[in-house]
Amino acid sequence: MRNGFSLLELMIVVAIIGIIAAIAIPSYTSYVRQANRTDATRSMTLDAQALERCYSQTFAYTGCATAPAGTAPSSQGYYTVVIAVTTTPATYTITATPVSASQIGDTACQVFTLNSAGTQGATDSSSSNNTKTCWGST
């Protein structure tokens, strides 16, 4: 009667673990990137709401204290959000670009945009439109 494992049995177990890891790690990374996209869309939507609230009170997007024009990090820090406001006509465009290492690798959704007309946009790494996938629409 033998005790323990043979080298062949051990190598089979290592190979199985390697195959499972080769499938699971990229899948998990993709899922995390997709989940982190909500940081951009949520931050942009909140900024747009703040700008619209200012517009309803002052009839201008400029001078809004809760969403000032300029650059700021998103709520979780995965993106840089830029708010660009024009006075004539009164419009705004909000753009989010990834800054964290995990989101920079998200080639499906590189840049998010939202404007005062409510138009959502997103481009992938080849600059083609990818709005439905990135904003979560079906």
Q: Judge whether 117 lies within some domain.
A: yes
Question: What is the spatial distance between Cα 134 and Cα 114, in angstroms, rounded to a whole number?
Answer: 12
Each of the 138 residues of the chain gets a pLDDT tens digit; together they read 567 788 999 999 999 999 999 999 999 988 999 899 999 999 999 999 999 999 999 899 988 888 888 999 999 999 999 999 998 889 999 999 999 888 988 888 889 999 999 999 998 877 777 777 788 754
Do the Cβ atoms of 79 and 103 come closer than 8 Å? yes
Q: Judge whether 2 lies within some domain.
A: no
- What range does the domain containing 96 cover? 7-135
Question: What is the spatial distance between Cα 115 and Cα 125, in angstroms, rounded to a whole number?
Answer: 21
CATH code for the domain in which residue 115 is found: 3.30.700
Q: Judge whether 75 lies within some domain.
A: yes
* Structural domains of the chain, count: 1
3-state secondary structure of 93: strand
Question: What is the spatial distance between Cα 57 and Cα 74, in angstroms, rounded to a whole number?
Answer: 25
Q: Judge whether 27 lies within some domain.
A: yes
